[in-house]
A and B are shown apart, each in its own frame.
Chain A
Amino acid sequence: MKLACNVVEQVEAICDKHGNKPGELINILHEAQSMHGYLPEEMQRIIARKLGIPASKVYGVVTFYSFFTMTPKGKHPISVCLGTACYVRGSEKLLDEIKRVLNIEVGQTTPDGKFSLDCLRCVGACGLAPVVTIGEQVYGRLEPKDVKKILDEIPD
Chain B
Amino acid sequence: MEQNMIQLTIDNHVVEVPKGTTILEAGKQIGIEIPTLCHIDLKGTCVKNKPASCRLCVVEVEGRRNLAPACATDCMPDMVVHTNSARVIRARKTIAELILSDHPNDCLTCPKCSDCELQRLVMRFNIRKMPFNGGEQSERKRELTPAITRNMEKCIYCRRCESVCNNVQSVGVLGAVRRGFDTTIAPTFDKMFVDTNCTYCGQCVAVCPVGALTERDYTDQLMDDLTNPDKVVIAQPAPAVRFALGEEFGMEPGTSVTGKLASSLRSLGFDYVFDTDFGADLTIMEEGAEILHRLKKFLAGDKDVKIPIMTSCCPAWVNFYEHEYPDLLGHPSSAKSPAQMFGAITKTYCAEKMGIPREKIVVVSIMPCLAKKYECARPEFKVDGNPDVDYSISTRELARLIKRANIRFTQLPDSDFDSPLGESTGAAAIFGITGGVMEAALRTVYEVYTGQTLPHIEFEQVRGFEGIREATIDLNGFPLKVCVAHTLSNARKIMDKLRAGELDYHVVEIMACPGGCIGGAGQPYHHGNFEILNARRNALYAEDEGKKLRKSHENPDIQKLYKEFLGEPMSEKAHHLLHTHYSDKSIK
- Chain A interfacial positions (CB closer than 8 Å to B): 41, 44-45, 53-57, 59-60, 63-64
Contacts and interface: CB of A to CB of B under 8 A. Distances in A.
Contact of B172 (A41, A45, A56, A63): A56
Contacts of B175: 54, 56-57, 59-60
Contacts of B127: none
A54 B175 CA distance: 9
B127 to A, nearest CB: 32
A64 B173 CA distance: 17
B188 interface: yes
A4 B173 CA distance: 26
B176 A60 contact: yes
B173 A56 contact: yes
Nearest to B188: A56
Contacts of B188: 54-56, 59
B173 A60 contact: no
Interface of B: 166, 171-179, 186-190, 587
Contacts of A44: 189
A39 to B, nearest CB: 11
Interface of B is mostly: mixed
10 contacts: A44-B189, A54-B166, A54-B172, A54-B173, A54-B188, A56-B174, A56-B175, A56-B189, A57-B175, A63-B177
A64 B177 CA distance: 7
Given A57-B172, A59-B190, A63-B177, 6 more contacts: A53-B172, A54-B166, A56-B172, A56-B174, A64-B177, A64-B178
Contacts, number: 39
Contacts of B178: 63-64
A19 B230 CA distance: 65
A45 to B, nearest CB: 8
Contacts of A56: 172-175, 177, 186-189
A123 B113 CA distance: 51
Interface of A is mostly: helix
A12 B575 CA distance: 44
Q: Which of A41, A55, A56, A59 has the most CB of B within 10 A?
A: A56
B166 A55 contact: no
A45 B175 CA distance: 15
Contacts of A54: 166, 171-173, 175, 188
A80 B175 CA distance: 31
A54 B171 CA distance: 8
Contact of A41 (B186, B187, B189): B189
Contacts of B174: 56
- 5 tightest CB-CB pairs across the interface, nearest first? A54-B172, A56-B175, A56-B188, A60-B175, A63-B177
A53 B166 CA distance: 10
Contacts of B172: 53-57
Given A54-B173, A54-B175, A64-B179, A59 B189 contact: yes
Contacts of B171: 54
B491 to A, nearest CB: 15
A34 to B, nearest CB: 22
Contacts of B587: 45
B187 to A, nearest CB: 7
A56 B171 CA distance: 10
B385 to A, nearest CB: 34
Contacts of A41: 189
B396 to A, nearest CB: 27
A57 B188 CA distance: 8
Contacts of A45: 587
A75 B188 CA distance: 29
Nearest to B178: A63
Contacts of B186: 56
Contacts of B179: 63-64
Q: Which of B171, B176, B188 has the most CB of A within 10 A?
A: B188
Contacts of A55: 172, 188-189
A41 B187 CA distance: 13
A104 B178 CA distance: 22
A3 to B, nearest CB: 12
A56 B186 CA distance: 8
Q: Which of B171, B172, B176, B189 has the most CB of A within 10 A?
A: B189
A37 to B, nearest CB: 19
B587 to A, nearest CB: 8
Nearest to A42: B588
Nearest to B177: A63
A60 B166 contact: no
A41 B172 CA distance: 16
A86 B171 CA distance: 46
A40 B390 CA distance: 40
A60 B189 contact: no
A44 B172 CA distance: 14
